[in-house]
A and B are shown apart, each in its own frame.
Chain A
Amino acid sequence: MSIPIRTGSRAPTSSARSAGDRIFRVLSLGVAGMILLIVAGIFAQLALGSAEAFALFGLGFLTGQTWDVSMLVFGALPFIAGTVATSVLAMLLAVPLGVATAVFLSEIAPRRLAIPMTLLVELIAAIPSVVIGLWGVMILGAFLRDGVEVPVVGAFGELPFLGSAASGSDLLAASLLLALMITPTIVAITREVLSTIPQSHREAFLGLGATRWETIRAVVLPQARTGIIGASLLALGRAMGETMAVTMTIGNADRLPSGLFDPAQTIASKLATSWGEASDGVERSSLIALGLVLLFLALALVLATRLLARGSLRRSGIGR
C-alpha cells in the first residue's frame, strides 16, 4: 500500500508543526483519559450500588443458587452458569465456523462467489437481535424441541449434560442463536486480516511445492492469528452481553440448569426481565451486583483468551 505524498504544497514551519502536535497530543490524551474515566465511573457506580447485596450475602452471593424475591434470598450462580455456558458454547461453534468461512471467502472461493457470499454474511450481522430472537422462538425452538430434544430424551432418558426439560427454550437454543449472531463478526474481521497478508508470501510457499491447504495452514493462518484472536474477543463480548435474543429463547428459569435441554437465564437476560419491577432495595442492589459480576466475568474471559492466545503463539514461535 502506498501513501500519497503531497509534493506541491510547502512543508509547514517547524514551530507551527510543534504547536499542531501539542494540540493533537492534548486532545488525544483527553479523549483517551475520558475512556478511562468512564470505565472507572461505571465500576464505581456498580460497586456502590451492589454494596448492600454484598454486605448482606458476602461472597456467598456468587455461589448462592436461589433467587427468590419473596424470601429476599439472592444468589448469582444460576446466572453466572447460564452466561458462561451460553457464551462458551457459542464460541466453540462460531470460531471454527467463522474462521473457516473467512478462509474460504478470501483464499479459495472465486470472486464471483466470494462477493455475494460476503454480502450475505454481513447481512446476518445487520439483522436486529429481536428479529433473530423471534425466529429463535418460532422456528429454531420448535425444531430443536420436536426434531432433536424430545426424540433424544425419549430414546435415552435423562443423559448427563443434556437434562430433560426439552421444551425448546433452553441453553441449546440460546447458544445456537448466539453462535449465529457472532459468526458474522468473526468472518468479517478475519477476512479483513487475511486480505492484509502479502500475496507474495503465499506465492513463495506455493512455489516451494506446497499444496493450497499447506499454504493456508503454514503461512496464512499463523500470520492472521492475532487478528483472529481479536475477532474472537469482540464476538465473546457480544455473546456475553446479548440480551434480547437470549431472553426470548433461553426459557427464563432462575435455576441452575442441569444440561443443554434445560431452561436457564443469563445475567443479561435476568437484568432485562427483572430490573423494571425491582422496587425493593435488596433486589435492586442484587441486580446491580449481577451487573458487576458480568463486568468481571467479561474481564476474566478476555484475559483468559489472551493468555491462551499468548501461550499458543509462543508454542508456534510467532510471538511478537
Chain B
Amino acid sequence: MDLERTRRRVTLLLAAALVAVAATPAAAAGPAKPAGSYTIKGSGASFPAPAYSYWISKFRSGLPSNVNANMQYAAVGSGTGISDFRANRTDYGASDAPMTSSEMSGNGWDTLHVPSMIGAVALGVKLSCVSSLLLTGQNVGDLFSGAITRWNDPKLRTNGRNAGLASCDVKVTPVHRSDSSGTTYAFTDYLKQSTNSYWRSRSSLPSKQPSWPTGVGAPRNAGVALKVKSTSGAIGYMELSYADTAGLIKARIQNPRGAFVSPTSSAATASANAKVSSVPNDLRIDPVISANCTACYPIVSYTFWLVREQGQASADETSVTLAYFYWGLTTGQNYLASLGYAKLPSSVRTKAIAQLHKVKVGGNAVWP
C-alpha cells in the first residue's frame, strides 16, 4: 500500500514536473548563477523540510555544470533555526513564525522575511475502529486539554457524526511537540482562537513552547508522527505531509462556516487566498491563517525563509542562494501540491520575489 502511494506520488511529481517545464518559458530569469563552488547552509523549521529537500535536489540538478552548490538544510526546528541565523552560523534561516522585533534587532544586519510556501497543520489520529473523523473546534481543544479522555466520549458524536466511535473504548493520548516549534505556534494560535474556554483563557498563547496540561511530548514533526503512529488512540498535530507519510487518519476539522474540511493542499490555498488582503508589506505575516470561507481548512500556516538584507557571504554565493529562493518561488511552487503543501497566493509570491531584490553585498544589490 505504501509502495502504491509512493508510486502514485512519483507519477504526480512527474506530471507536475512536465507542467512546470512547459509553464516556465526560459530558465534564464532570476538571479545570476556565477560559476564556482559554493556551500550554502540553512537550518530551521521541520514543517517544510520534506519540500525543501525535494526543492534542493531539483534546483541543484538544474544548475549549469560549472556551478557546484553544496546545499544543506537542517530540519532542527524553527527555534534553533532562528538562533543559528542570528549567530551567523547559517546562510539563511527558516521558521514557521516570523521573527519577533527583539530577535530582529542587534544582529548587525536587517532581516528579510520571504514566505516560501503554505502548509496545513493536520491532526493525525491512530485509531482502528474508524477510518475518518469529524472534529469541531471545541472537540480539538477538549482532546488536547484532557477534557475528553476516551474516544467513545459522546461529545465526539453529536449531530450524528463519528457513529463508529461508539464502540471505540480507547484512551486518548494527545501528542505534542517537546521542542520549540512553529507548528506548535500555529496550532496553539488555532486553539486560542477557537471556542474552547480552557484555551481561550490561556493568556500566554500562542506560543512556540507552551506548557501542556496533558499528553506526551515528541521532538519535531517526524517524532510526533512516529509517536502517533505507534500509539493506538493517539492524536497529534503535524504538517500534512508527515501525516500522509505515516498513513494516519487526518481529522476533518470544522471551520468558522460550519463545514468539516480535510487538510488538503487546495483547502490550504483557499484559506490563504481568502486572507490575502491582510498581508503586510514586510511580509511578517501572522503565520496562522484563520480564514472564514466554506472551503477553507482552519489550521494553515505560512513558512518563511529568513534572509540577511546586508549579505554576509560573497556576492557570487549570495546570488546563487537568491537563485534558489527565486526558483522555489517560481518553478518550485508547482511541486508543492504533490508534496503535501500548498502554493503561495500569487500576490504574496510577487511580494516575496520583490524581497529578493533588496539583498545587498557590500552596498550593491545582488539582483538589481
Mark A residues whose CB is within 8 Å of B. Answer: 66-71, 137-138, 141-142, 145-146, 150, 153, 165-169, 247, 251-255, 263, 265, 273-274, 276-279
Interface 0/1 of B180-224, CB less than 8 Å to A: 100000000000000000000000110111111011111100000
Stretch at the interface among B77-85, B251-259, B290-298: B77-85
Whether the Cβ atoms of A167 and B173 lie closer than 8 Å is yes
CA distance A252 to B217 in the complex (A): 5
- Given known contacts A68-B204, A70-B209, A276-B79, is B230 in contact with A253 (CB within 8 Å)? no
Whether the Cβ atoms of A273 and B232 lie closer than 8 Å is no
CA distance A122 to B219 in the complex (A): 31
Partner among B82, B173, B210 whose Cβ is within 8 Å of the Cβ of A165: B173
| Chain B interface category by residue count | 20 to 34
CA distance A278 to B77 in the complex (A): 12
Mark B residues whose CB is within 8 Å of A. Answer: 76-77, 79-80, 82-83, 86, 103, 171, 173, 178-180, 204-205, 207-212, 214-219, 226-227, 230-232, 234
Partner among B179, B218, B230 whose Cβ is within 8 Å of the Cβ of A274: B179
- Report A279 CB to chain B, min CB distance, Å: 5
Whether the Cβ atoms of A165 and B230 lie closer than 8 Å is no
Contacts of A70 in B (CB 8 A): 204-205, 207-210
Closest to A67 in B: B211
CA distance A120 to B207 in the complex (A): 48
Partner among A138, A142, A252 whose Cβ is within 8 Å of the Cβ of B216: A252
Contacts of A273 in B (CB 8 A): 178-179, 217, 219
Whether the Cβ atoms of A253 and B79 lie closer than 8 Å is no
Contacts of A66 in B (CB 8 A): 211
The listed residue with most A CB atoms (<10 A of its CB), out of B103, B204, B211, is B211
Closest to A149 in B: B171
Whether the Cβ atoms of A263 and B86 lie closer than 8 Å is no
Q: List 5 A-B contacts (CB under 8 A).
A: A252-B216, A276-B179, A277-B77, A277-B180, A279-B83
- Given known contacts A67-B211, A254-B211, is B216 in contact with A277 (CB within 8 Å)? no
Whether the Cβ atoms of A145 and B231 lie closer than 8 Å is yes
Instruction: List 8 other contacts, CB 8 Å, given A70-B207, A253-B212, A277-B77.
Output: A68-B204, A71-B211, A137-B230, A145-B232, A167-B231, A255-B211, A276-B76, A276-B77
Contacts of A255 in B (CB 8 A): 211-212
Contacts of B217 in A (CB 8 A): 251-254, 263, 265, 273
Contacts of B79 in A (CB 8 A): 276-279
CA distance A255 to B226 in the complex (A): 22
CA distance A167 to B126 in the complex (A): 13
Contacts of B80 in A (CB 8 A): 276-277
CA distance A270 to B189 in the complex (A): 24
Whether the Cβ atoms of A263 and B216 lie closer than 8 Å is yes
- Report B161 CB to chain A, min CB distance, Å: 25
Whether the Cβ atoms of A277 and B209 lie closer than 8 Å is yes
CA distance A167 to B204 in the complex (A): 28
Closest 7 CB pairs of A and B: A277-B79, A252-B217, A70-B207, A252-B178, A277-B180, A70-B204, A68-B211
Contacts of A278 in B (CB 8 A): 79, 180
Contacts of A165 in B (CB 8 A): 173, 214, 216
CA distance A106 to B179 in the complex (A): 46
CA distance A186 to B29 in the complex (A): 67
